[in-house]
Every structure is written in structure tokens, then in C-alpha cells.
Amino acid sequence: MISSLTAISGGPSAIRRDPDSNTLRLSRRKTLISLLRNCKNISQVPSIHAKIIRTFHDQDAFVVFELIRVCSALDSIDYACDVFRYVSNPNVYLYTAMIDGFVSSGRSADGVSLYRNMIQSSVLPDNYVITSVLKACDLECCREIHAQVLKLGFGSSRSVGLKLMEIYGRFGDLVDAKKVFDEMPERDQVAVTVMINCYSERGCIEEALELFQDVKVKDTVCWTAMIDGLVRNRKMNKALELFRGMQMEGVSPNEFTAVCVLSACSDLGALELGRWVHSFVENRKIELSNFVGNALINMYSRCGDINEAKRVFRGMQDKDVISYNTMISGLAMHGASFEAINEFRDMVNRGFRPNQVTLGALLNACSHGGLLDIGLEVFNSMWRVFNVEPQIEHYGCIVDLLGRVGRLEEAYRFIENMPIEPDHIMLGSLLSACKIHGNMELGERIAKRLLESENPDSGTYVLLSNIYASSGKWKETTEVRESMRESGIEKEPGCSSIEVDNQMHEFLAGDTAHPHKDAIYQRLQELNQILRFKEHETDMIIGFAGHQ
């Protein structure tokens, strides 16, 4: 296609003069750029490109820039390459457009290579092209361009500094990310937010908090970044505490803040705070986008209010696949298996294509409801009907389902015939089923297989011990417990939480760290005394009745 246009243009070395006036040329440029911007498909581009050549605009940087940009946006990066190749003396803006095109097309190595060609061609880079090529860089390349940035005097550029921090953070080089941050002439809220994200992504949450607390004036984005970092690092109580601080500072949350807080509420079971966030979203007339709606459905489902989750789901105008996945998962969690199946059917009828998450949620619903035949039908249709390759979690659902209905040997044969190795979660699920259904022989086989794995957990030892104990094999029970102690594995203490006045309180079994532990244990003793008295009172009534 390009070769025929080359014949018209005479190639990159041809020298041609446009006889038209400057006014007419500017008018044509504007028209050509407008035509390019209206292109919806790459098939529309060649005719406009031919017109560009005929009107002597094939070397016009403004027109060629738009042509390259449009080709890249229409997923035709090779066409953009050919266009660029026939420009006699491309300037830095054309290089930027081409590098951006390579990056957006997933051809990062080509973007870096073109940048090096630009330097070799003595085209001086600017902030924009440096920022573009950094998106394509690995850590080594980033350091190379960073050194070049300093030599060229772009070290004080805010946009370049932010991008360098982001790339260093992405590859875990927090030392260099922090060095760039410290050397920035203006460490504003945006720079702080980027650095907080760098720390949070690598689990350095204390460093992120320290940096956050040093900022005098924080905007919504900065607060949200810190809350999001805490949530991603499983510091849910701290995230909610920070959200309250944000409110006290009078900083308005946005939909991203709401989703972060709802995620923390979901994890902690903080239903009342979750309802407050929902009310805040409605009162502030924040659009109930899929982003917020899906978070609300997840929060209500995980906090026990499935009816409210369904109400939010029904109220969403433009549901997507994630909306259906979240709702089906919530229904499965609450044992509403048939409702989950109906939502799946509605999803398919509306033209949405199920993905791995959808089918996993549906299989989970079948497992919770003991719907073996439907579950097997769904599993067998994954590849055949929906072109979805079953993953370990899908196989696990079938094992769990067979275990729940007592078909333990069939479940074990299913594991043996799988094309992938079972994980400890799948084997642990079948081990639990063996305990429930009293199949000690199979349970012992599975437990030994788990104990021979690389990282047996405390649950495996406890389950095997319980299986032996329920069968009266006390010697074996003791041996398992001793083996557990010798391996240095301790049973994880039970944990519970309660929400009081929009604050979450966590308690571990045998916990002595809670600030109100004395009052709590005193109250527990009082309750024990009341229960013993009630038990004694009941025994007296039963004894008295027996004498009548």
C-alpha cells in the first residue's frame, strides 16, 4: 500500500516545491488533519494519505504527526512506521509520536531503539519524548536514560522526574526512586503521591506513612493513594482510621476513595461504615458507576446483607461482566445457588461473555448448593461452549462439590486424572470432606500426601489429628501433634472482630495486647459465672422435676 504512494511522492530524497500560497497551504493542512481525526477505521486512511502526498504535505510535520498518531490509534503501527520512514528530516515531535505508538502497541523494544536512533541522528530530545520512552524502559534502560537526562540538563523537569520515580518504583528500586524524589525542586502533592505508590507497591507501608504524614497540605488524590496503599497491604483498620482523619480534615473523598474504603469494610465486615459510605455516595450525588457499584455489591455480600447487594445490582444502569461476577459470587457465598444460576443465564442472554472468574463463581455456587449435575455440566462446558481453559480453582470447585456430596473416591480419582498438579487447598478440602464423612483411610492417604509436600500448614496436622481422634486412635493423634511441634509449626490462633461506633476491634485467642484487655477479661469472667449459675439452676429444675 505504501509502495504505490511512494511512487507519487518520489521517495524520501525527492525535492519538490509546493506552488500554492501559504494561506492555501495552511487551509489544506487544517482540512487534512480534520479528515484524519475523523477516521474510524484504518481502511479510510490510504485515500487521505494519497491526498496528503498529492498536496505536498507528506513532509509537513503537523500533518505527518497526526497521520502517525491516527495509524497507531487504529492498531496499524506498521503503517505508521512506513509513514515515518519516508519523512526526510523527522523532528522530535514525530519521534515522540512514533515512540508513543510503539509503546501503546506493546513494542517497547522498538520504541527504545527508535529513541537511540534519534539521539544518533543529533535530534535533541525534550521532556515529552523522554517521558514517552521511559514508559518503554526496563530498569537498565531507565538508568541509561536517567544519566542522559542529567547530562542534557533535564534533571529539574517535573514530568521527567515523576516518570523516573514511577519506573524505578515499578522495578523495586526504591533507593533511586527516593533519590529522584529528594532532588526534585518542587516536591508537591503529585510527587508525594507517586512516591507513596512506589513504597506501597513494594510493601514498605511504614515509609509511605512517614512520607504521607510529613505533607502539610494533602489533596484528595494524596489521601486516596495512602488509603489504597494500606488496603493493598492488608492494613484495613489503619485504612479506616486514615479515612476518618480525611473527613476530619474536611477533604472530600471521590469515587476512588469510596471504593478503597468499601474494600476495607468488606475485608473487616464493617457493615455500618460500609452503609455510611453508600449513603455518602448517594448524598454527594457521586455517579453510581460500575466501579463504585461493584464495590458496594462486594461489600454488602461479604458483610452479610445480600438483599442490599441485590438492590444495588438491580439499580445499576450499565452492568458489565465484573458486575455479574460480583453478584454471582455474593449469591454463592450466601448459599443462593439457584439465584446465582439465574443471574448467569441472564448475563449470557444479555450478550456478555463469561470469563474464568464468572465460571469459577458459578461452580462455587453449585458447590455450596450441592448441585453436582449442574456443576459438572458447567465444568464440561467451559472449554467446549465458552472457550475458557479450566484453571486450578475450577478443578478445586469440582473436588469440593464431590466431597460435599460424599463421593470421596470419585473426587480423589478426579484429582489423580487432572492435567495439573493439585494444590494444598484442593487436597485440604477433600481431607475436610473425609473427616465429615468418616472416611479415615482416604483421609490418612491425603494427609500424608500433604505432609510430604514442601510447605504443610498447621491445618493439615490438625485435621489429621482430629480424624485419628474421632476414630479413637489416640496413639496416632499424639504422634501427629508431636510431629507438628517438632516441625516448629504452630496452630494459628482464632481471630474475631466486632464493629462498635464505626470502629473495628480485633481479638485473637489468648490475646493480651488489647488496650482494654482487663475490662474484657473481667466481663468474660462475669459471663462465665452467669452461665455456670444458669447451668446449675437448670440442673436443679431438672432434678426437682425428676422427683415429682
pLDDT band at 456 (very low <50, low <70, confident <90, very high): low
Amino acid at 337: S
Tell me which of 211-225, 368-382, 461-475 is least confident: 461-475
When mean pLDDT is compared over 150-154, 239-243, 497-501, the highest value belongs to 239-243
The answer to whether 132 and 118 are in contact (CB under 8 A) is no
For cell 445480600, name the residue.
306
Tell me which of 198-212, 339-353, 443-457, 469-483 is least confident: 469-483
Q: Which three cell numbers stand for residue 438?
A: 468418616
For cell 501433634, name the residue.
481
Q: Is the pLDDT of residue 134 over 50?
A: yes
Question: Residue 485 has what pLDDT?
Answer: 67
Instruction: Name the CA radius of gyration of the chain, rounded.
Output: 32
pLDDT band at 531 (very low <50, low <70, confident <90, very high): confident
Q: Is the pLDDT of residue 39 over 80?
A: yes
Q: Which three cell numbers stand for residue 355?
A: 470469563
The answer to whether 171 and 138 are in contact (CB under 8 A) is yes
Output b/e per residue, 162-192; b: 16+ Cβ within 10 A: bbbbbbbbbbebbebbbebbeebeebebebb
Q: How far apart are CA 317 and CA 306, in angstroms?
A: 19
Amino acid at 545: A
Q: How far is CA 102 from the centre of its chain?
A: 25
Q: Which three cell numbers stand for residue 415?
A: 484429582
For cell 520512514, name the residue.
85
Pick the closest to residue 400 from 439, 426, 361 (CA basis): 426
The answer to whether 224 and 264 are in contact (CB under 8 A) is no
Three-state SS string over 484-530 comes to HHHCCCCCCCCEEEEEECCEEEEEECCCCCCCCHHHHHHHHHHHHHH
The answer to whether 185 and 153 are in contact (CB under 8 A) is no
The answer to whether 268 and 236 are in contact (CB under 8 A) is yes
Q: How far apart are CA 207 and CA 409, in angstroms?
A: 52
Mean pLDDT of the chain: 84
pLDDT digits (tens, 9 = 90+) for 48-97: 999 999 988 989 999 999 999 999 999 999 999 999 999 999 999 999 99
Pick the closest to residue 133 from 153, 149, 157, 150 (CA basis): 149
From residue 249, alpha-carbon distances to 31, 47, 431 in Å are 51, 58, 52
Q: How far is CA 505 from the centre of its chain?
A: 27
Q: Is the pLDDT of residue 176 over 50?
A: yes
Pick the closest to residue 338 from 318, 362, 355 (CA basis): 362
pLDDT band at 263 (very low <50, low <70, confident <90, very high): very high
Pick the closest to residue 259 from 244, 245, 278 (CA basis): 278
Q: What is the dihedral of CA 521, 523, 527, 528, to 10 degrees?
A: 30
Could you tell me what percent of the chain has a pLDDT over 70? 81
Q: Say which residues have a Cβ less than 8 Å from residue 334's Cβ, sequence separation at least 6.
A: 301, 306
pTM: 0.72
DSSP codes, 143-172: HHHHHHHHHHT-TT-HHHHHHHHHHHHHTT
pLDDT band at 536 (very low <50, low <70, confident <90, very high): low
**φ, ψ of residue 497 in degrees (nearest 5):** -140, 155
Q: Is the pLDDT of residue 246 over 50?
A: yes
Q: How far apart are CA 507 and CA 514, in angstroms?
A: 8
DSSP codes, 66-83: HHHHHHHHTT-HHHHHHH
Amino acid at 48: I
